[in-house]
């Protein structure tokens, strides 16, 4: 699944595409399970990537605020 070079951008794009297809019911039952599975993978990937980013950004921001507090 999670390809080595997959970016959040690309993953989110693909996820949105799948969500749209499913929303407009332009997905056939034959591939529905497959699509949902892919969507789940992408959600999982995006969430972990987002979580990592959030953690890192949070760290940087708290350092920044500490500094400003001092200054």
Partner 1 sequence: MEASNRYPVATPGSIRLSELSARVSRAIEEAFSYTSFWVIADVTNHTYKSQKDYHYFELVEKAEGTSVLLAKFSGSAWGTGSQKIAEFEKATGQRFTGGLNVLVKVTVKYQAAYGLQLTLQDIDINFTLGVLEQQRQATLLRLVRDNPEHIRIEDGRLKTSNQGLVLNRVIQRIAVISSSTSAGFQDFQHTLENNGWGYRFSVDPYFALIQGDHNAGQLVDKIVAVYQSGVAYDALVIIRGGGAQTDFLIFDHYAIARAIARFPIPVITGIGHQKNETLTDLAAHTATKTPTKAAEFIIAHNRGFEQELLQLQKNMVIKSQQLLSAENRKLSMIRTSLVNNTRSMITGHKDALVRNNQITINTTKSILYRHRTGLNNLYSKLSIQPKGMLYKHQAELSIICRNLKTFSNLYSKSQENKLSHYASLIKLMSPENILSKGFAIVKAKGKIRGNADGINLGEEITVILAKQQLVATVTSKENHDGTEFNI
Per-residue binding letters, 19-58, with partner 1 (x by CB under 8 A): x--xx-x-xxxx-xx--x--xx-xx--xx-xxxxxx-xxx
User: C-alpha dihedral over 6, 11, 17, 19, to 10 degrees?
Assistant: 140
Which of 24, 26, 68, 69 forms a contact with its own copies (CB under 8 A)? 68
Q: Which does 14 bind (CB under 5 to 8 A by kind): partner 1, its own copies, none?
A: none
- Tell me: does residue 28 bind its own copies (CB under 8 A): yes
User: Would you count residue 1 as binding partner 1 (CB under 8 A)?
Assistant: no
- The H-or-E segment that residue 36 falls in is helix 29-70
CB 38 within 8 A of CB 18: yes
């Amino acid at each position: 699944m999670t390809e080595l070079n997959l970016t959040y951008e690309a993953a989110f794009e693909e996820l949105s595409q799948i969500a749209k297809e499913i929303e407009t019911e332009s997905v056939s039952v034959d591939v529905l399970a497959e699509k949902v599975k892919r969507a789940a993978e992408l959600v999982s990937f995006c969430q972990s990537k987002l979580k990592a980013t959030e953690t890192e950004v949070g760290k940087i921001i708290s350092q920044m605020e500490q500094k400003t507090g001092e200054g």
